[in-house]
């Protein structure tokens, strides 16, 4: 009995690692079983997975290149309509390019914009939020006031202004969206940090002599990361919509097949070639809907407290 | 029960007939004859694509703005839809020398506010444009349209004299672009007030307006009748006209089909067949006066090499663009002028599409592997630019398109900061002066190719003041030849003006300069 509980000092490290992995595994298992029992979240997750796979394998899935086409196929009808051909299932766009191929390549832009902008926003938000919330003081003051300043602008108007100043393009778009996008994460993390800081486990960690950095990263962060994940998922749908809106306005991504610009290009043809706008629009709708379903599902699963906020 | 049922039936019948009456009464309104006169009482609605800039005839350089203003203001002369110059407020004119023109002004014309129109007003109108900073400290953007005109002097109450510093052969052709304004009204109320409450001598007077919404005018009952050469003469048949700004193509077309608009501008070619099959709509077209082209920056690599510029001309299939995107409603051009233009050089043939030749020329110039290229354009030409980019990619040029706000792009182009632009240039006189000079003179105000050729400069300068038309034409033909050989542009195409009206609209034809004059338009 004695031998079973006692751990050899040299094995202690690997034991804790095993224990930690076990806990992780259990957490994931629990998360998985909750997800499966949450139909909308599951649906969202499955749809997003399909979109991600389509984006990765776009060159194999798309029958043509995104810019390939001949003016002969201009405004070609979808396959099931009169005049359509099975070679171009969704028909041709205003320059005779294959609409389906362009939509499939368009997934890449939307997802990439979503992941990159939210990724950067989360990173900045956590970094600033944790520090500001833990130490308070002048750093908190400066960053918080700057964040308030940014929040005073409506998001789309702000992004339009940024894009107009810097010009269209992927890099500029990411810059414009993250410039303001981190503030929400910052405020969330800072707020959580402020309330966690006073809790007993933090006090305990301090008493045991843990360093500030270790307390922030290994004690507090795991307790607030759930809320961040939920917010990140919800914001991703928003960022994708933002990119599409900017591209629709001609300020986003011009030189690649982006859904927003495709919807815009088809706008003038709505009366006799409705498919040019409609299909990219439906894909955009599906993707954003799926992301929001997953986001709300994650909120229910990971962070039921947030529910009352809505 | 029985009684109730019959009441119900009566009610239904009454309601139904009310509904029918409601349908019949809507829309255009009916003719009303007052005192046996052929007076009519209806509103004409015109759907415009772009918002306008001002209501002061001297403060813009914009066709849409002029279209609206033309209905409230008359000029000394006007232009028929066949591009002929006919008298309007002027009764007659003669050139007493190549630099002196005498205009006799029609007597008994009044402005909308009752002010009499005489030589004072005409002289005032032109001095307002010619004098620097004469309009609230700003110089009229229309000054350039007066060429070498130096002064306009009153001779007697109904005679004015135009004094030109040099002979200017297109003087008369350019004159329809200037409208006469009331002197006393403007001096009393100021330019700002005038722009907000315009008063002219045209067929309609201003009621209210919002430059980006709708501009409402009503018939001017004391109208002198307009040009005697354009029938019918007299006050306008329509009692009210509304110019409504509808930027969305689909909403313009939908409101035409519903009968809410009677005339619409800029029908896209892909909608023509659908509109033509609608019995309530007539689609009308005429030749346009706008040239579309692709200017290449001749001062910057790679387009400083004439071989590369020629390669671009071979690589772009203009015929295909005209056929597919414009639905054949236009024509590919061999040079910078439309075939209908004065002094068009018939000897030139379009470069034509030849991808092999393009690749060969690129290789000769040392661009076997192509080069990266951003094609600039304004929003309305994005589709053309996209098509050009995809054609250029086929010969190995890594082309993409960037859409700009014109206010930002224009100066960059003139400074030689960009490489290639898809643009258009309106030249409503169809005289080469209005397009060759701005486009190919060194430092010209539309010289987006940054083109500079001493021979061209010399020929254009000489042609400006030659009165003999044949000699002038000869100079312009030479210029076209040089520009063609230099391949300063990828020579583009001309489009037809395509506009549409409801079936009941009478006496209206689109005009090559795309102005819509509603004076004579009636609804049946």
Q: List phi, psi (to 5°) of B420.
A: -145, 140
The C-alpha angle B33, B35, B40, rounded to 5 degrees, equals 25
Q: Would you state the torsion angle of the CA atoms of residues B152, B157, B159, B162, taken in this order, to the nearest 10 degrees?
A: 0
Q: Which of B383, B386, B402 sits opposite A168 (nearest CB)?
A: B402
Q: Mean pLDDT, to the nearest integer, of A224-245? A: 94
- Best of A77, A94, A97 to substitute, by most chain B Cβ atoms within 10 angstroms, is A94
Asked if B390 reaches chain A (Cβ–Cβ under 8 Å), the answer is yes
B139 burial level (CB within 10 Å; 0-12, 13-18, 19+)? middle
Q: Identify the pLDDT of residue A309.
A: 45
The C-alpha angle B431, B437, B441, rounded to 5 degrees, equals 160
Residue A55 lies in a domain: no
- Fold exhibited by the domain B28-72+202-287+496-524: D-Maltodextrin-Binding Protein; domain 2 (3.40.190)
Q: Do B270 and A269 touch (CB under 8 A)?
A: yes
Determine the straight-line distance between the first and last CA of chain B, rounded to whole angstroms. 49
* N residues, chain B: 524
Among residues B251, B205, B246, B210, the alpha carbon closest in space to that of B113 is found at: B205
B40 pLDDT above the threshold of 80: no
Which domain covers residue A158, as residue numbers?
108-306
pLDDT tens digit sequence for A160-183: 999 989 988 899 999 999 999 999
Cβ-based contacts of A271 with chain B (< 8 Å) = 250, 253-254, 271, 274
Q: Identify the pLDDT of residue B414.
A: 95
Cβ-based contacts of B387 with chain A (< 8 Å) = 71, 95
Mean pLDDT over each residue of chain A, to the nearest integer:
90
A-B interface: how many C-beta pairs under 8 angstroms?
52
Closest-CA residue of chain A to B248:
A268
C-alpha–C-alpha distance, residues A128 and B491, integer Å: 57
pLDDT tens digit sequence for B159-193: 999 999 999 989 999 999 999 999 999 999 999 99
B1 pLDDT above the threshold of 50: no
Q: Which of B271, B324, B400 sits opposite A272 (nearest CB)?
A: B271
Asked if B401 reaches chain A (Cβ–Cβ under 8 Å), the answer is yes
Asked if B321 reaches chain A (Cβ–Cβ under 8 Å), the answer is yes
The rounded percent of chain B whose pLDDT value lies above 90 is 74
Q: Identify the pLDDT of residue A173.
A: 94
C-alpha–C-alpha distance, residues A25 and A21, integer Å: 6
pLDDT tens digit sequence for A86-117: 999 999 999 999 999 999 999 999 999 999 99
Query: B375: helix, coil or strand?
Result: strand
Q: Which of A67, A95, A250 sits opposite B379 (nearest CB)?
A: A250
Asked if A83 reaches chain B (Cβ–Cβ under 8 Å), the answer is no
Domain boundary assignment for chain B: 28-72+202-287+496-524, 73-194, 290-494
Residue spans of alpha helices (H) in B258-354: 272-276, 306-315, 318-324
Q: Which two tokens stand for residue B405?
A: 């706000």
Q: Identify the pLDDT of residue B12.
A: 60
Among residues A236, A237, A145, A136, the alpha carbon closest in space to that of A183 is found at: A145
Closest-CA residue of chain B to A272:
B271
Q: Which two tokens stand for residue A46?
A: 């499955």
Q: What CATH number does the domain containing A293 carry?
A: 1.10.3720.10
State how far residue A287 is from chain B, nearest Cα, in angstroms. 27
Q: Identify the pLDDT of residue B221.
A: 93
Q: Do B324 and A272 touch (CB under 8 A)?
A: no
B13 pLDDT above the threshold of 70: no
Please report which confidence band the pLDDT of residue A271 belongs to, taking 50, 70 and 90 as the band edges. Answer: confident
Q: Which of residues 128-167 of A touch B (CB under 8 A)?
A: 164, 167
B148 burial level (CB within 10 Å; 0-12, 13-18, 19+)? middle
Q: Identify the pLDDT of residue B39.
A: 55
Buried-exposed string B494-522: b where 16+ CB fall within 10 A, e elsewhere: bbbbbbbbbeebeebbbbbbbbbbbbbbb
Please report which confidence band the pLDDT of residue A9 belongs to, taking 50, 70 and 90 as the band edges. Answer: low
- Fold exhibited by the domain B73-194: Dipeptide-binding Protein; domain 1 (3.90.76)
Q: Which two tokens stand for residue B224?
A: 């002198």
With helix as H, strand as E and coil as C, how does B507-524 read?
A: CCCCCCCCCCCCCCCEEC
ipTM value for the complex = 0.79
Asked if A74 reaches chain B (Cβ–Cβ under 8 Å), the answer is yes
Q: For tokens 């005489």, name the residue.
A: B118
C-alpha–C-alpha distance, residues B108 and B276, integer Å: 44
Q: Identify the pLDDT of residue A4.
A: 54
Residue A278 lies in a domain: yes
Please report which confidence band the pLDDT of residue A255 belongs to, taking 50, 70 and 90 as the band edges. Answer: confident
The rounded percent of chain A whose pLDDT value lies above 70 is 94
Residue A218 lies in a domain: yes
Query: A291: helix, coil or strand?
Result: helix
Q: Do B390 and A67 touch (CB under 8 A)?
A: yes
Asked if B320 reaches chain A (Cβ–Cβ under 8 Å), the answer is yes
Asked whether B390 and B310 are in contact (CB, 8 A), the reply is no
Q: Identify the pLDDT of residue B144.
A: 87
C-alpha–C-alpha distance, residues B260 and B28, integer Å: 8
Q: Identify the pLDDT of residue A267.
A: 87
C-alpha–C-alpha distance, residues B300 and B52, integer Å: 36
> Residue B152: in which H helix or E strand, if any?
strand B149-156
Asked whether B58 and B135 are in contact (CB, 8 A), the reply is yes
- The superfamily in CATH containing domain B290-494 is Dipeptide-binding Protein; Domain 3 (3.10.105.10)
Q: Is A242 left (phi over 0), alpha (psi -120 to 50) or beta?
A: alpha
- DSSP letter at A98 equals B
Cβ-based contacts of A261 with chain B (< 8 Å) = none
Q: Do B325 and A71 touch (CB under 8 A)?
A: yes
Q: Do B268 and A71 touch (CB under 8 A)?
A: no
Closest-CA residue of chain A to B408:
A164
B15 pLDDT above the threshold of 70: no
Q: Which residues contact A271 (CB under 8 A, 6 or more apart)?
A: B250, B253, B254, B271, B274
Q: Which of B274, B324, B383 sits opposite A272 (nearest CB)?
A: B274
B16 pLDDT above the threshold of 80: no
> Which of A28-42, A280-294, B347-361 shows the lowest per-residue confidence on average (mean pLDDT)?
A28-42
Please report which confidence band the pLDDT of residue A39 belongs to, taking 50, 70 and 90 as the band edges. Answer: very high
Asked whether B345 and B480 are in contact (CB, 8 A), the reply is yes
> Which of B5-9, B242-246, B307-311 shows the lowest per-residue confidence on average (mean pLDDT)?
B5-9
Residue A77 lies in a domain: no
- DSSP letter at B393 equals H
B32 pLDDT above the threshold of 50: no
Q: Mean pLDDT, to the nearest integer, of B261-265? A: 94
Domain count, chain A: 1
Please report which confidence band the pLDDT of residue B22 belongs to, taking 50, 70 and 90 as the band edges. Answer: very low
Q: Identify the pLDDT of residue A305.
A: 64
Among residues A106, A89, A101, A150, the alpha carbon closest in space to that of A124 is found at: A150
């Amino acid at each position: 009995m004695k031998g079973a509980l006692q751990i050899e000092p040299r094995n202690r490290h690997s034991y804790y690692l095993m224990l930690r992995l076990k806990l992780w595994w259990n957490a994931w298992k629990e998360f998985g079983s909750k997800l499966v029992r949450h139909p909308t979240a599951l649906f969202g997750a499955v749809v997003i997975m399909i979109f991600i796979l389509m984006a990765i394998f776009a060159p194999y899935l798309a029958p043509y290149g995104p810019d390939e086409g001949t003016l002969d196929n201009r405004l070609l009808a979808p396959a099931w309509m009169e005049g359509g051909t099975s070679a171009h299932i969704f028909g041709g766009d205003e320059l005779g390019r294959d609409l389906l191929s362009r939509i499939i390549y368009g997934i890449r832009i939307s997802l990439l914009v979503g992941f990159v902008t939210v990724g950067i926003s989360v990173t900045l938000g956590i970094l600033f939020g944790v520090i500001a919330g833990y130490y308070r003081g002048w750093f908190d003051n400066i960053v918080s006031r700057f964040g308030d300043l940014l929040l005073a602008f409506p998001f789309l108007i702000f992004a339009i202004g940024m894009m107009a100043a810097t010009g269209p393009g992927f890099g500029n778009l990411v810059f414009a969206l993250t410039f303001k996008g981190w503030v929400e994460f910052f405020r969330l993390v800072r707020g959580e940090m402020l309330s966690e800081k006073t809790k007993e486990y933090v006090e305990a960690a301090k008493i045991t002599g843990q360093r500030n950095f270790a307390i922030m990263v290994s004690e507090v962060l795991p307790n607030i990361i759930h809320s961040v994940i939920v917010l990140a998922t919800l914001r991703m749908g928003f960022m994708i919509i933002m990119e599409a809106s900017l591209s629709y306005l001609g300020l986003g991504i011009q030189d690649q097949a982006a859904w927003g610009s495709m919807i815009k290009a088809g706008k003038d043809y709505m009366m006799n070639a409705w498919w040019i706008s409609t299909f990219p629009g439906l894909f955009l709708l599906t993707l954003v809907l799926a992301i929001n379903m997953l986001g709300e599902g994650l909120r229910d699963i990971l962070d039921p407290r947030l529910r009352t906020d809505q | 029960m029985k009684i109730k049922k019959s009441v119900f039936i009566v009610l239904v019948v009454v309601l139904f007939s009310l509904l029918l009456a409601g349908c019949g009464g809507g829309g255009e309104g009916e003719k009303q004859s007052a005192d046996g006169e052929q007076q009519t009482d209806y509103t004409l609605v015109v759907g415009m694509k772009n918002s306008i800039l001002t209501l002061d005839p001297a403060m813009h350089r914009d066709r849409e703005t002029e279209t609206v203003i033309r209905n409230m203001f008359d000029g000394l002369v006007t232009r028929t839809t066949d591009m002929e110059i006919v008298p309007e407020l002027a009764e007659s004119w003669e050139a007493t020398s190549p630099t002196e023109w005498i205009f006799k002004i029609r007597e008994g014309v009044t402005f909308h506010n009752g002010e009499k129109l005489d030589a004072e007003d005409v002289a005032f109108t032109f001095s307002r444009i010619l004098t620097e900073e004469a309009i609230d400290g700003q110089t009229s953007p229309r000054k350039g349209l007066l060429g070498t005109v130096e002064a306009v002097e009153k001779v007697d109450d109904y005679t004015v004299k135009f004094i030109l510093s040099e002979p200017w052969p297109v003087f008369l052709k350019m004159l329809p672009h200037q409208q006469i304004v009331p002197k006393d009204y403007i001096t009393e109320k100021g330019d700002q007030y005038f722009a907000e409450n315009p008063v002219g001598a045209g067929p309609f007077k201003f009621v209210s307006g919002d430059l980006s919404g709708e501009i409402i005018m009503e018939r001017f009952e004391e109208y002198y009748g307009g040009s005697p050469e354009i029938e019918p003469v007299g006050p306008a048949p329509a009692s009210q006209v509304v110019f409504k700004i509808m930027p969305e193509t689909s909403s313009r077309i939908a409101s035409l089909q519903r009968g809410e608009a009677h005339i619409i501008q800029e029908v896209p070619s892909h909608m023509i067949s659908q509109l033509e099959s609608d019995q309530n709509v007539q689609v009308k077209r005429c030749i346009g006066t706008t040239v579309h082209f692709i200017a290449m920056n001749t001062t910057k690599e790679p387009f400083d090499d004439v071989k590369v510029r020629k390669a671009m001309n071979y690589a772009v299939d203009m015929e295909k663009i005209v056929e597919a995107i414009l639905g054949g409603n236009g024509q590919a051009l061999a040079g910078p002028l439309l075939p209908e233009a004065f002094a068009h050089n018939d000897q030139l043939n379009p470069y034509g599409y030849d991808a092999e030749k393009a690749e060969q020329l690129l290789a000769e110039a040392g661009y076997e592997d192509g080069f990266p290229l951003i094609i600039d354009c304004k929003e309305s030409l994005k589709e053309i630019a996209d098509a050009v980019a995809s054609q250029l990619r086929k010969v190995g040029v890594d082309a993409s398109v960037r859409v700009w706000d014109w206010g930002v792009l224009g100066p960059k182009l003139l400074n030689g900061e960009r490489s290639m632009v898809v643009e258009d240039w309106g030249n409503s006189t169809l005289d080469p002066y209005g397009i060759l000079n701005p486009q190919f003179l060194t430092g010209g105000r539309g010289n987006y190719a940054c083109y500079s050729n001493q021979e061209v400069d010399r020929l254009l300068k000489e042609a400006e003041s030659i009165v003999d038309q044949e000699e002038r034409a000869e100079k312009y033909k030479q210029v076209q030849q040089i520009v063609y050989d230099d391949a300063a542009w990828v020579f583009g195409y001309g489009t037809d003006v395509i506009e549409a009206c409801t079936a009941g609209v009478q006496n209206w034809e689109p005009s090559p300069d795309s102005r819509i004059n509603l004076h004579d338009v009636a609804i049946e």
